[in-house]
Structure 1
Amino acid sequence: MTSSAAPWAARLAFVAGAAAVVVLLLFAGVRSVVLVAVGVAGTAVALAGVWWALARRGPARVLAAVLAVVAPAAVLVLYALAGLLWVVLVSLALWALAVASGRLALAEEAGPRRPGERRVAPPERPFLIMNPRSGGGKVGRCGLPEKAAALGARVAVLDPDHPADVAGLARRAVEEGADLLGVAGGDGTQALVAGVAAERGVPFVVIPAGTRNHFALDLGLDRDDPSASLEALTDGVEFRVDLGLIGDRVFVNNASFGAYAAVVQSPAYRDDKVRTTLELLPGLLTHEAGPDLVVRAGDLALHRPQAVLVSNNPYRTEDPAGLGRRERLDSGVLGVLSVTVDSAAQAAGLLRGHNAPGLVSATAGEVSIDAREPTVPVGVDGEPLTLRTPVHCHIAPGALRVRVPRHRPGVPAGRPAMDWRGVRRLARLTTGRPAAVRGSHAARL
C-alpha cells in the first residue's frame, strides 16, 4: 500500500528539479551551458588530482593534492566573478531537494516490512556474547551486560587481555540449552557467532556495539542506541537472511581482495591507518605491488583488478565503493564489485557508477579468486586473513534466523536508489483521475 505522503514527496521532487533548471536558465540564460561545462571540467580535473595524489609519491603527490583542491576552488571563483555563484548554489540546493524528496517518496512506498517476517515468543534461555573493546567501549558505556541480564539473558563479557574462542563459546552455550545467540560487538565477531547460530538452528540477535555495524544497518537497527536491540528478547520478530562463506568461514557483509585487503594486512595499519594507506596505495594502484588477481563469477572472468569485493547479497548499484547499504539480505546471490583504475580518466569515470569502464558489478552464487601467489591477503568483515589460492566464496540462502525488535527505526531495504520513473508514477497516483478511478487503483495496490 502506498503511503499518502509518497505522492506529495514525489511531486515536490519534480517541482524542485524543474525549479533547479528554471533558476539556471532564467538568471544565467545561455551562460548556463557554460556554467555546467565549467563545473564538469573542474570536477574532472579535481578527480585527476586525487588519482595522481593516490598513485604517486613525493613532490608529485603534493602537486596533485594541490591541484585537487585548487580546481574546484577556481570554479567557484569563476562563478563569483561572473556574478552567478548564488545561481549555481541555489540550483544545486534545489536539485539536492529533488533527489531527497524522490528517495523519500520511494522509501514511503516500500515501507519497512520484510517478506517472511513473523512475530515470535520470547526466548527462554538467551545467551549473549559482548566484546567490551568494540566501538570504543560501547558495551560498558551503554550498560549492555546489566540490561541484558535484567531481561533474563546469560551474558559472557570477553576479557580484552585473553583472546577467546568466540565460536567455541557459542557452541558450548547451545549444548547447555541456549535457545538464542546474540553478539554485542563488531561485524567480525557477529559473523563468527552467526555461523554457529545457523549451524545449530537457533535465532541470532545483533546488538550494534561495533564501530561501523554494517550488518545492523541493513537489518534496520538503531546503531546509535545498541540497547534498543535488546527489545528483540521481549518483543521480537524473526526472518531469514543469507550468509556468505569464504571456504568454511562465514561473512555477514563482505570479503575484500586486492588493494584494501593488502592495506589492512599491514602491521602498521592498526596504529596509523591514513599514513599506512597513503604509503601502500601507489604500489597497489599501479600494479607494482599486491597480487595479480583472477576472478571468476559464473561466466564472468576478470583479470588483474586492483580491488575486488565479494558481498553477502549485492550492494546498491549506485554505490561503486560497496560501502553503503544492501537492498536485500535474502536474494540468494553474492554481489561482486571489481575495480580496475589505471588512469585519471578511469578514476573520474567511477562517478558514473555501474556504467564506469573501470567498474564491474555482477551477481553469482559462487565466486573464485585466484592468483599466481600461493596465498593472498583477504579482509573478511574487516578482519585481516591470509588464505591459500584459489579462494572460493559461495552463498548459503536463508541460512540464518535473525531476530530483531518489532519496532526499529531503519527501513531494512535501506535508502532506495533514485528512480525517476518510479517517482513519476507516484506523482501521478492521484493526479487528474476521478475519485472512482482512484479508489479502484487503491484497491489493487
Structure 2
Amino acid sequence: MEQRGQRTAAGTSVPGANRRGLWGPVIGFGLVSLAADVVSDGARPLAGPLLAQLGASALVVGLVTGAAEAAAQGLRLLFGPWADRTRRYWTFTLAGYGLTAVCVPLLAVAPLAGEAGLVLASVLIIGDRVGKAIRSPAKTVLLAAVAKQVGRGRGFAVHKSLDLLGAVLGPVLIAAVLAATGSMSVAFAVLALPAAAAMFMLFWLRLRVPSSVPAAVDALPPPGAGRPATVFTRGFLLFAVAAFFWSAGLVAFGVIAFHLTTTAGVPVAVVPLLYAGAMAAAALGALASGVIYDRSGAAALLALPLLIAAVPLLALAPAAGLAFAGVLVWGTATGIQDSTVKALIADLVPEGRQGTAYGVFAAFEGAGALAGGGLYGSLYGSRPLLILAVAVLQLIAFSVLVVALFQIREPQRGRSARTLRQD
C-alpha cells in the first residue's frame, strides 16, 4: 500500500502533505451539493401536498411536477453548450445554485398569497429545477477539473456520497419541522438556512480555488477544435428513445405524495421520511446496478423499465403498505437512471462530445417527463388505465432498449462509469 503519496490522473505522485490540499476543493463541492440537496430534496416531497393544499387537482400536480423534471433535464441541452461556448462555468454554477436558494424558501409565502398562491408555488417549484439545469453541466466541468488531481473516480465518488447524504438529511429535517409545527410554511422557511450555507460555501470555494479550476478549464480544447465523431450513432439514438418512454412512465414523486396524503391517509409529516427512504433505495439501486454493469454490461439496464412499470401498481395503491413499497421501487428506479444510465452514455460517446451527448439525452428524458406529467395527472382518477398506460410505455421502452443494446456492441465498460455518476 502506498503510504507517502498518491498517484494523480497524470501519473505523478502527490506527497501526503499536499494530498489533503488537493482534496479540499473536491470536498468543498461535495459540501455545497450536500447543503443544496438539503434544500431541494427537502422541499421536493412536499410539492404535491403543497399544491393540493392550494387547490390543485391531480392533473395540475402532474403537469407542474412533470414540467419541473422536464426543465431540470431538457434545459441542460441549452445551458451545457452555452457554458462551453462562453467558458463562464463559475457564473452558471453560481446562478443555478442561487436560483434554488431563492425559490425553495420562498415557497413559504405561497399559502399566504391567496388566489395567486397556486401560480406562485408552481413557478417556484419549476424555478428550483431550472436552477438544477443551469448549474449541473457547468458544475460537472469544475468538479472534473479539481478531481483530476486526486483521481476522478475517487473524487466523483466522494462528491456523490455527500450529495446523497444531503438528499436524505433534507427530508428528515422537513419531517422534524412538520412534526414540531404542523406548518409547511415554517418547513419551507427553515430551508433558508441550508440555502444560505450552500451559497456561502460556494462563494468561499470560488475564492479558495481561483487558479486551479480556471486553469484546468482553460486547458480544455476550444469549441469546435478537433471534434471527434458524432454522438448521433444509431445505438445512442435508440437508447435516447428508450429513455423518452421510460421517463414518460416514471410517475413523479409529487403525484405519489399527492396520493399518499389525499387517498392513502398518510400524514404530511411522514411523506419526507418516505422520500428519504426512497433516496436510500436510490443509492442501493445505483450501487447494485453499477456493479452488475461493470461485470455483465449494459444488459443490467433492462431491469429499469420493469421497475418503472411496477411503480404505479404499488405506489398508487389505496393501502399504505403497498404504497410504501412503491416508493422504494420508485427510488431504486431513479437511482439506476441517475447513475448506470450515465455510465453507459460515457462509454458510448467520445470524451470530447460527452457534454453534447448528455444534453441531448437529457432533452429526451425531459420531454418524456413532461409528457408523462400530463398522462398520469389526467389518468389518476382511473388508476387501472394509468397502470395499463405505464405498462405499455415500459413495454415499448424495453423493446427499444433491447434493440439499442444490440446496436451498441460491447461498449468499453467502466472507462468512465465511476467518474460521471451524478446529477
Whether these two folds match at TM > 0.5 is no
> TM-score interval w.r.t. the shorter chain?
under 0.3
**Structure (1/2) with the larger helix percentage:** 2
TM-score by length of 1: 0.24
Structure having the larger proportion of residues in strand: 1
TM-score by length of 2: 0.25
Rg larger in structure = 1
